[in-house]
Amino acid sequence: MGTITARDIRVHLKEMIKSSDEKQNLIAAKIGISEGYLSKFLSGKEINFWMVREIVRYLDPENETELMKRHCLSGVKKKNYASALEYCYAKRLFSVVESLIKNQISRDGKADLWSKIYRFILNFRLSDGNIEYIESLKELKSNSDETKVLLYILEMYGNFYNGRFEITLYQIETIKILISELGDPFLKLAYSARVEEVLVNIYLKQKNNVNKAREVAHSLLEKNLSVNLNMTALYILALSYVYESYSASYHYYMEVIKLLGKFPDREDELIQNKEEIAILQCYWDKEISEDFRVTKFAKALAEKKALNKFYKHDTYKKYALLFDGKEEASSEKLLLSLYFFSQQQDQFRATLPKIHLIKLGFNFNI
């Protein structure tokens, strides 16, 4: 499509309609809006943000992010400001969020609450839950149902990243009710996705509820709000099948890797996922592919070297003890592996050594 100026977005969409065999009224009906709203937008007037997104997603889904980015930069009115900020943040368009905030301050002479909240989100996006995050969040006070929900969600993140999972789950129930009472369809969708991003992790890792985790992961994928959230869902699906199905787990891991390939700045995550495939292959007694021998630990697994040098490594000791315990039928090492997984409140991965302890005769129901 190439670079599209803000003025050309509507022209582009008009051309998409002309090139299709569908009439404008049928397109509007399929999108779920009236033909009047579609005509209003195409003639240059502003309509609700969620409607614009649905129009773009229907007419040119491959270029959705670029078109919506241009739409946001063209200037959105107050009623669509929150949705534009949330959309751009979800899409990792952080420079656009910055531009939107600067434009709002320039227009009104001071930052409104939405700008303050998203400035906070940008400032702490890599340090959710630290002391400064918690203290700074307390300074933000809601002035509407929409800001109230978002501030609750930000508090939820703080508790989640600090390992307060029961409190997080309790908060989520309140947040769900508040979301259901919102009138803006896009904010309802986006805020629900934020909640599911946390839920999907807790259900699998802390609650070891595989079915619930998969259910939420598929719900996230259906929303298709952002590549980042899709990767979270796919990763959880990959992990959820680790001891149940090698082919399913491998498939979802490869989907994550495919998406990560689009982000050169996320090399660390790419390496982590490749290493986890090496762990998966080792667990299923498969030959570890050359492509996944990306760390010293992965290479040691592939070469079947002694793993005792990893026993004191915070990241690898759990797996080193698991694989040595499995190989040696050592209940002591398997119990240590289970202990270290449980110590990190990772009840799902703690199941891995547990499976082999049961094979050795341990009865966990006593």
334 and 357 Cβ atoms separated by less than 8 Å: yes
Q: Cα–Cα–Cα angle for 171, 174, 177, nearest 5°? A: 150
CA distances from 198 to 36, 42, 139 (A): 39, 38, 24
Break the chain into its structural domains and give their ranges: 1-74, 81-208, 306-366
Nearest Cα to Cα of residue 316 among 359, 356, 272: 272
Nearest Cα to Cα of residue 125 among 100, 101, 90: 90
pLDDT for 6 equals 45
The letter for the amino acid at 360 is L
- Residues 14, 18, 19, 20: is their CA dihedral positive or negative? positive
Contacts of 46 (CB under 8 A, 6+ apart): 76, 77, 80
Distance separating alpha carbons of residues 168 and 269, to the nearest angstrom: 25
For residue range 85-123, what is the model confidence (pLDDT) as tens digits?
A: 999 999 999 999 999 999 999 999 999 999 999 999 999
DSSP type of residue 203: I
DSSP type of residue 127: S
Q: Which residues in the chain land under pLDDT 70?
A: 1-7, 365-366
For residue range 287-300, what is the model confidence (pLDDT) as tens digits?
A: 999 999 999 999 99
Contacts of 53 (CB under 8 A, 6+ apart): 64, 68, 87, 186
Nearest Cα to Cα of residue 203 among 99, 93, 346: 346
Class of residue 235 by CB neighbours under 10 A (exposed 0-12, middle 13-18, buried 19+) = buried
Distance separating alpha carbons of residues 264 and 235, to the nearest angstrom: 18
204 and 240 Cβ atoms separated by less than 8 Å: yes
Residue with tokens 């508790």: 159
CA distances from 137 to 99, 113, 133, 170 (A): 22, 12, 6, 19
84 and 100 Cβ atoms separated by less than 8 Å: yes
CATH code assigned to 1-74: 1.10.260.40
Distance separating alpha carbons of residues 227 and 212, to the nearest angstrom: 22
pLDDT for 366 equals 46
Distance separating alpha carbons of residues 242 and 228, to the nearest angstrom: 21
pLDDT for 272 equals 96
- Residues 235, 238, 240, 243: is their CA dihedral positive or negative? negative
For residue range 43-79, what is the model confidence (pLDDT) as tens digits?
A: 989 999 999 999 999 999 999 999 999 999 988 999 9
